[in-house]
Amino acid sequence: MFRSILVFAFLLTLIPLSSAYSATAGKYSDYFEPLPRRVDSLTNPLNTAKIRLGKMLFFDPRLSRSGAISCNTCHGLSTGGVDNLPTSIGHGWQLGGRNAPTVFNAAVLGTQFWDGRAADVEEQAGGPILNPVEMASTEELAVKTINSIPEYVKLFKKAYKNEKEPVSFVNITKAIAAFERTLLTPSRFDRFLVGARGGLRQDEIKGLEIFVSKGCVQCHNGVGVGGGSFQHFEYGTDEGRFNVTGNESDKKVFRVPSLRNVKRTYPYFHDGSVWNLSEAVKIMGAVQLGVELTDEETDLIIKFLGSLTATRLIIKLPLLPPSSASTPLPDPLFSVKQEADNVEVTGSTGSGSNPVTPSAE
């Protein structure tokens, strides 16, 4: 009897603690949402075969002209979904024009790329493959490469079993996007938002309170803790969204980045010019909010941001199928400029590559 009373008394002590914890989390429900278990698409429904195929393609450098660059090169899944470089190194050692955004949780964001020119991960997935500064391939070459690998052909038929010609550039990008839609990284912050134990510590909650009271939450909100809006950012020389729309009002306007896993996605900003998170937080406070954050306030905000880091993430590398005798050979010395010069001199039709443009990020 005495033992039962002790157990009952212990359970009673848990009830107010749990209720208080939920109430604390509930204060922020107007600002944030926890990550969903999956992010599906009406135009690209997920299935196991498509996701498996997309994972293989994400890691396959044969989609690049050089045979050396894959999606994972710039969006490394072991390094926060980025390459931790100011701007990525692409075909022929060319440097991209913008910092590579993380691929983790990209599917929950409203748009893709710093200038928002892609509506979703399906539209985004094809950009780097075709960009001459990045993977420097063409739709025709990518499809020819996949069709030359028997195992890939079988996998495409399985993933797109209702299609007459399953191997197409659109289906390549849809498969990659399907895999990207699974790259969600729940953190302790998500546990906090649903009122579960194991969420935020007291110093992280203090950092969250400062994050909200100072106004950071005006832009960094929603399920991505950012990524749902465009904001003017007077920093650097990049004209931002203006390069897409041509509207004067879009000069220096960029998509707000997600802050999930931000402690791992350095260097920061669209130009990758800031390596230190404390410096980045203070710059954002001064430039965007007009406030001078103290060292203590900055440290507490960073403690909160640390709670956005994935708690557990295991990704096994896929085993890629071997090439065949008909698989196009790597061409690391291919030059878009040289080909353009040849077209001008000989009048040939060329390979169909996009013109040289800034980085697709």
What are the pLDDT digits (tens) for 111-140? 999 999 999 999 999 999 999 999 999 999
**What pLDDT score does 361 carry?**
67
**What pLDDT score does 197 carry?**
85
Q: How many domains does the chain have?
A: 2
pTM: 0.88
The answer to whether residue 88 is domain-embedded is yes
The answer to whether residue 225 is domain-embedded is yes
**What pLDDT score does 38 carry?**
86
Residues 6+ apart with CB under 8 A from 163: 171
Do 247 and 336 lie in one domain? The reply is no
**What pLDDT score does 180 carry?**
98
**What pLDDT score does 311 carry?**
86
Pair 284, 216: CB distance under 8 Å: yes
- Whole-number Å distance between alpha carbons of 41 and 182: 12
Pair 320, 96: CB distance under 8 Å: no
The answer to whether residue 78 is domain-embedded is yes
Do 215 and 171 lie in one domain? The reply is no
**Helices 295-306 and 202-213 sit at what angle, rounded to 10 degrees?**
110
Q: Which residue among the candidates 122, 134, 204, 361 is catalytic per the annotation?
A: 134
- Whole-number Å distance between alpha carbons of 90 and 128: 9
Do 164 and 278 lie in one domain? The reply is no
Q: Which whole-number Å values give the CA distances from 26 to 21, 23, 207, 257, in the listed order?
A: 9, 5, 16, 24
CA neighbor of 317 nearest in space, from 48, 64, 60: 60
Q: Which residues of the chain have pLDDT under 70?
A: 1-24, 336-361
The answer to whether residue 121 is domain-embedded is yes
- Whole-number Å distance between alpha carbons of 292 and 282: 7
Neighbours of 118 (CB within 10 A): 16
CA neighbor of 284 nearest in space, from 295, 296, 268, 272: 268
The answer to whether residue 4 is domain-embedded is no
- For residue 100, give the CATH number of its domain: 1.10.760.10
**What pLDDT score does 354 carry?**
33
Do 190 and 254 lie in one domain? The reply is yes
Query: Among this protein's residues, is 151 annotated catalytic?
Result: no
Pair 129, 123: CB distance under 8 Å: no
Tokens representing residue 281 in the block: 């937080």
Do 172 and 190 lie in one domain? The reply is no
Do 166 and 288 lie in one domain? The reply is no
Do 159 and 301 lie in one domain? The reply is no
Do 207 and 299 lie in one domain? The reply is yes
The answer to whether residue 142 is domain-embedded is yes
Residues 6+ apart with CB under 8 A from 153: 146, 147, 167
Do 53 and 179 lie in one domain? The reply is yes
Do 61 and 123 lie in one domain? The reply is yes
The answer to whether residue 170 is domain-embedded is yes
Residue 141 burial (10 A CB sphere; 0-12, 13-18, 19+): buried
Residues 6+ apart with CB under 8 A from 332: 65, 66, 67, 68, 91, 92
Host domain of residue 63: 48-184+316-346
Do 96 and 27 lie in one domain? The reply is no
Neighbours of 79 (CB within 10 A): 15
The answer to whether residue 257 is domain-embedded is yes
CA neighbor of 139 nearest in space, from 69, 67, 65, 68: 65
Do 160 and 252 lie in one domain? The reply is no
